[in-house]
Structure formats: C-alpha cells, structure tokens
Amino acid sequence: MSAFSCAIDQAGIAVLTFDLHGEKVNKLTTPAMDELDRILDELAADQKVKALVVRSGKPAVFVAGADIAEIRDITDAARGEELSRRGQEVMNKLEALPFPTVAAIHGACMGGGLELALACSRRVVSNHATTVFGLPEVKIGIIPGFGGTQRLPRLVGLTNALEMILTGKSVPAKKAKKIGLADEVTYPEMLLDVAVSMAKEAIGRPRPSGIRATRPLFIKLLESTPLTRSLIYRRARRSVAEETRGNYPAPPAALEAVQYGLAHGRSAGYQNEARTIGGLIASGVSKNLINVFFLNEALKKYGQPSSFATARTGVIGAGVMGGGIAQLFAEKGFAVRMKDITPKAVAAGFRTADEIFRKRSKKGILDTLQARDGMDRITGTTDMSGFAGVDLAVEAVVENREVKKNVLREFEQTANARAIFASNTSSLSITELATASARPGQVVGMHFFNPVEKMPLVEVVRGKQTSPETVAAVAALSRRLGKLPVVVNDGPGFLVNRILMPYLGEALRMLEEGSRIEEIDHALLNFGMPMGAFILLDEIGIDIAHKVSGILREGLGERITASPLLEKLYQNNFYGRKNGRGFYLYLHGKRGGASPLVYSFLPKRAKNEGWIPEQEIVERAVFLMIKEAVLCLEAGIIDRPDLLDAALIFGIGFPPFRGGLLRYAESLGAKYIVERLDAYAAQYGDRFAPPASLFEMSRDDFIGQIVG
C-alpha cells in the first residue's frame, strides 16, 4: 500500500503527504524511500508543478526517522554504507528539484525525518509542544547518514549543529526558529495554509543559502574562520572524550564527519559520512544500543491493559521523594493531596515540588503557565482529610516497617473501598506490609528512583496477595506518568537494589582493603557506569544504604556482607550529599574531592599498600551483580532476562553501550565468569562462589540460555 499521496492545486502547488500504512509513526523504510524516489522523479518531470509542500498524515509525528529494525539487522559494513548512500541520493534528489520545497512540520521531526526537512529549501513548523527536532543517531551508536552531518552545520552554524549531532538532544520549535532550523512558526491549525503560502511566495526566487541562525553577522563570519573552527573542534573533542570515556565511538565519529565535510566539501563529506556510518552500524556497540532502544519501546507498552481510572492521587510523606512524586503527578495532570505529620514537613514537600517545576520551566520543558497550573494541583494536609476521594496513594515515609503499616491502616480507615495503596519502599517486603491491610489485594509496591523527575524506571512490586488488577493499574499509571514500569515479584530488595547492593558492598570492601575512593570510582566510570560507587552512595544516602543493606542481609544472609566502614560512617552522621558529609566533600551543595575524613575510620596503611588493578576492581564489583542477577532469575523475582537488563539500565544507568548486565555477561561467556568468581572466592571469600546454574552453563561456555 502506498505511503505517499500527492495533490496538485490549480496554482501548481503540490502537497505530498507521508502516511505510512499500518504504523503509528512515519518511518523511512526501504520501500518508503523507493516510493519517495519515484515520486520525486515524477514531480521533477511534471511541468505543472511550481512548488512542493511535504507534510505528514500522522497526528503527532512528522517523521520519526529511519527504520531502526532494518538497521538492527545489518551486520555488514558495506550494506550499512549502501543504505546510507541510498538515503543520500533520495535527499539530494529532493534538494535538487527545480522548484521551491517547503517542509510543513507538526510533531516529532527526528533523524532521517529531519534530514528530509533539511533537504527542503524552507521549513514551517507548528508551535505545538510535540513539535521537536533532533538527530538522535548517536544514541543508537551511529551518526546521521542521509546527509545530516553536512547540511545541518551549513544551515544553523557549526556550534549549534554539533550540539544537536553530538548529544542527540532535541530542540523545540521556538529554539529551532532561533537557530535558523525553522523559517516560520505557526499554529497547528494554520500549518498547511502557511506552508502553501510560503511555497507560492518562493516561486521564482533562489533557494536561501548560508547560516540562518539569528546571530550578529560578525559571529557568523568568525565561526567560519579556520582558527575559530579549530577551537570549536578542540573543545567539542574534549567534551566528547569526557562524556564517552572512549566507550561510545559514534560521537567522535560524528564530529570527524562534520569536520571532514566542511574541510573537503559536500560531495566528499557525503562519501565519508556513508563510509563512517557503515562501520558503526555493523559494530557491537551499535547493536547493544539498538537493543536498549527496543527495550525502551517494549517497556512503554509493558503490562496488561487496565480499566482502573486514576484521577485523584495522594502522597503520604512530603520528604524529597514525596515532594518529587507529588510534582510528577501534578505535572501529568493529576490532582494531588500531600500529607505529612507537621505543617513544616508539608511546606518542605511544596518547596521540593516548586523547585522541580521551576527547573523544568527554566529548561524549557514546561512553560510558566504549565508550571503554575501544576503547583495549583497540589494541596497539603497534616491529617487524612481529602484522602476519601483519592484513587491511589503513594506512601513515601521513613523506611520503617511499623511506621508504614500504621500509615496503611490510617489510609484504609479514610479511603474509599477501591483505592490502591502503593508503597515507595526500596526494600521492605510488600507481602509483609499487606498483613496490616484489610484489602491486601490493593497493596502494591511502586518504587520510584531518585531523582523522581529524571529517573525513568518504576519497579511495580507484586506482593503474594496483590491482585493482577492492581498490578495492571499501577503499571498503566506509571506509563501515563511517562515512566517505564517493570513488574517484579516481592523479595528482599526487589530487583534493582538487590543486584546493586553487592556491587556497592564490594566497593566498600575494596576501600577497606586499602584502595582509594577515587581509584575505585575512576575504574567504574571507565567501565561505563554513570557515576562511581561512592558518588552513588552519597546520592542514595549513606543512611539509606545502611538501612537497605541490613534488610537485605536479614533476607539473603551473609552473601550481603556487612561493611564496618558503612556502619562507622552511619553512626557518625555521615549521610552523603543530603547533609554534606559523605565519601566526597560538599560546599554549597557542590561536590568536591574525596573526603579525607572517611580514611580516619579505616586502618592506616602504607602508600599503595592496598592498590588494586582496575580490571579487578571492575570484575569484583560487576561480577557480583551478574551472580545476583542469576539468583534473581532463579528465585523468580523477574521472569524475563531482557526486562532485568532494562531495569538496571533505566534504574541505575548500567552502561547502555554494553547492552545490559546479562548481555554483557553473554559477551564474556559463562566459563570466564565462573573462573574469575572461583579465583576471587579463593582469595576473598564465599560471597564470590558462583551459583550452581552459572557453573552448569560454564561447561558449555554458554550463558545465552539466560539472556534468551
């Protein structure tokens, strides 16, 4: 079935509508590109056509980009290069049409979709919040391959182009106009009329050329000089190296592609772009990142459909987490009733929510009116007044079993019979909490990760008596909140914290053995973790880590080893960033170097006495995660290995370029992992002893039966 339809009016304005059949979004699949190629030939030969408007038939997307499923299946660099060259040919043909071309853009204009828009001579865009522009290819381990590395810098300037290409970040319509990416911004209802009018006015006029960003002329001229460009490239190269630590080849490759094209001309730039993307498409890093992309897409649809209607929500506990959860509910349009035991505590929750709204408004994620409306949806109380009408309440009180049970009892005395009680506990048993409930089927875990507004994962924890309807309702609500839900069964630490704590515990053990805070964190950062173990402990809160490790040790035994250092720090009021006393120094909330005070709680050692090689640091910490992940699968905490990988990527930032914890384990092979665990067990103790199932896999050097 045709993906394109074309209508030509009496004035000779052709309107080409892209509406890919059977898909929610437009994708530049190979058949769609072939059809577009043919249509462009027909339009070029049609003497009646005086101008062309390209638009989308989808309600909220212009073009989402190339078909990532096609890219995933390419294993040969030559085939990847061929795909790029084919796309470049079609875009060049669009650019070379003998009449004006206008892209009428409403909704997401991403990747190949933006490259299509760049090939048009003009762009008019809607001012709707869904209209955003981006070249996110680096996020799947490749670079723009349909000419984007060549056209974008020549349109918006080198600095603006590199910011988009190297980070993969999108820009809204207002900024697109400012940097010259959009020629005009209008209302969605007027988009087609304005585009047609723009096309008519452009007939007979030359195609606009040069950088169109709204900047002083001398700035534009300065950016085009070899010296300035050299400085821009040097700064960008340094920034990329700091961000990627050599683990992500696409950003430096994209930078080189832009630089090469500006130095050698468009034709050479296109050829180099195609060669570069061919090698990247076939790489293991790209395959892993594409796997993460599809995990993300799967989680957006994860869970059973739910008929449970949630309109009014409650948050019990107005601390940092409670205030963050209230802000999230309010931003997504829910009325929120927030409770704590004192007016001062409730006020603190309001401040937390307001600060988040202000930050998001400042970043352009929300406008001022949206932020104000969001705050207006939150009301506060020190009793249960207003909770009779809530459909779901999230408790975020202190991590104490009896306190949470009392909160549950108090809630059920006030709430309506259908209301769901969701606990934000990070480690306490949902099954145990539900023993305090008269309606245990409506008690569930809804574990957000901190900071709530940034972390995408929500663990939906199913207790032994939690009903399927409750699980489905909370998973559906999580999706409405823009989060990625993963349903896990109840157990000590659930999934993410259970796997995380041995990793953090081993970092503590290595510090106790004489290694240095910076050495351990540096090794883990080089491995690809988003932050070192001790920075993470400071962010989580040393007090929280102390509490969670005790709960896990109670449930899992000495496999979760006690840390004398963690105990001493906790007893001496070292709680991390929250009180400025942690593994690192803090001044006015900003992190400095490692705190020398931490070493005062450790035995004095000679210099380099406890030095540990970087490979050993990584293996000891990460292989314990692999071991615990295998045990979680054996215990039925989660039933799908791919979802386990997703939970760790989106919950704690396990390196996406490695594809997930179990996918990384598969790349090493079970035999190697077991050999190393055995060696570490002999040297450091039974916590490294490999589980029987992993030992069995090692006989065939095969872990794929876990990964699937």
How far apart are alpha carbons 589 and 126 in whole angstroms? 40
Burial (Cβ within 10 Å: 0-12, 13-18, ≥19) of residue 450: middle
Strands 132-134, 171-172: pairing kind? antiparallel
C-alpha closest to that of 141 among 317, 319, 276: 276
- DSSP assignment of 314-364 equals EEE--SHHHHHHHHHHHHTT-EEEEE-SSHHHHHHHHHHHHHHHHHHHHTT
Q: What is the length of the chain?
A: 708
CATH homologous superfamily, domain 4-282: 2-enoyl-CoA Hydratase; Chain A, domain 1 (3.90.226.10)
Burial (Cβ within 10 Å: 0-12, 13-18, ≥19) of residue 574: buried
Where are the domain boundaries for CATH 1.10.1040.50 in the chain? 496-612
Domain with residues 312-488, CATH architecture: 3-Layer(aba) Sandwich (3.40)
The pLDDT, as a whole number, for residue 610 is 74
- For the segment 118-163, what is each residue's pLDDT rounded down to a tens digit? 999 999 999 998 999 999 999 999 999 999 999 999 999 999 999 9
Strands 443-448, 457-462: pairing kind? antiparallel
The pLDDT, as a whole number, for residue 101 is 98
Q: Where are the beta strands (DSSP E) in 108-159?
A: 108-110, 122-126, 132-134
Other CB atoms closer than 10 Å to residue 174's CB: what's the count?
14
C-alpha closest to that of 454 among 541, 365, 543, 534: 365
Other CB atoms closer than 10 Å to residue 640's CB: what's the count?
15
Where are the domain boundaries for CATH 3.40.50.720 in the chain? 312-488
Cβ(118)–Cβ(152) under 8 Å? Answer: yes
Cβ(293)–Cβ(337) under 8 Å? Answer: no
The pLDDT, as a whole number, for residue 353 is 98
How far apart are alpha carbons 123 and 181 in whole angstroms? 7
C-alpha closest to that of 474 among 636, 325, 291: 325
- Residue 459 three-state SS: strand
- Residue 380 three-state SS: strand
The pLDDT, as a whole number, for residue 113 is 98
Q: 432 has which bridge partners?
A: none
The pLDDT, as a whole number, for residue 671 is 92
Which of 447, 522, 546, 588 is flagged as catalytic? Answer: 447
C-alpha closest to that of 314 among 141, 446, 123: 446
Cβ(488)–Cβ(633) under 8 Å? Answer: no
The pLDDT, as a whole number, for residue 218 is 55
- DSSP assignment of 216-239 equals -HHHHHHHTSHHHHHHHHHHHHHH
Q: 56 has which bridge partners?
A: 18
The pLDDT, as a whole number, for residue 607 is 59
Token output for 84 = 């790029």
The pLDDT, as a whole number, for residue 220 is 62
Q: Pseudo-torsion of CA 64, 66, 72, 75, nearest 10°?
A: -160
The pLDDT, as a whole number, for residue 463 is 98
- Residue 153 three-state SS: helix
Query: Maximum Cα–Cα distance for the chain, whole Å?
Result: 88
The domain made up of 496-612 has a fold known as N-(1-d-carboxylethyl)-l-norvaline Dehydrogenase; domain 2 (1.10.1040)
pTM of the prediction?
0.89
Angle 272-277-283 (CA atoms, 0-180°, nearest 5)? 135
How far apart are alpha carbons 602 and 509 in whole angstroms? 11
Where are the domain boundaries for CATH 3.90.226.10 in the chain? 4-282
Q: Where are the beta strands (DSSP E) in 167-268?
A: 171-172, 184-186
How far apart are alpha carbons 490 and 486 in whole angstroms? 13
The pLDDT, as a whole number, for residue 217 is 56
Cβ(18)–Cβ(63) under 8 Å? Answer: yes
Cis peptide preceding 613, ω within 30 of 0: no
Tokens 């950088």 correspond to: 211
Cβ(407)–Cβ(397) under 8 Å? Answer: yes
C-alpha closest to that of 458 among 445, 450, 447: 447
Identify whether 264 is a catalytic site residue. no
State which residues of the chain have pLDDT below 50.
Answer: 708
C-alpha closest to that of 538 among 450, 407, 638, 435: 450
Q: For the chain, what percent of residues have pLDDT higher than 90?
A: 87
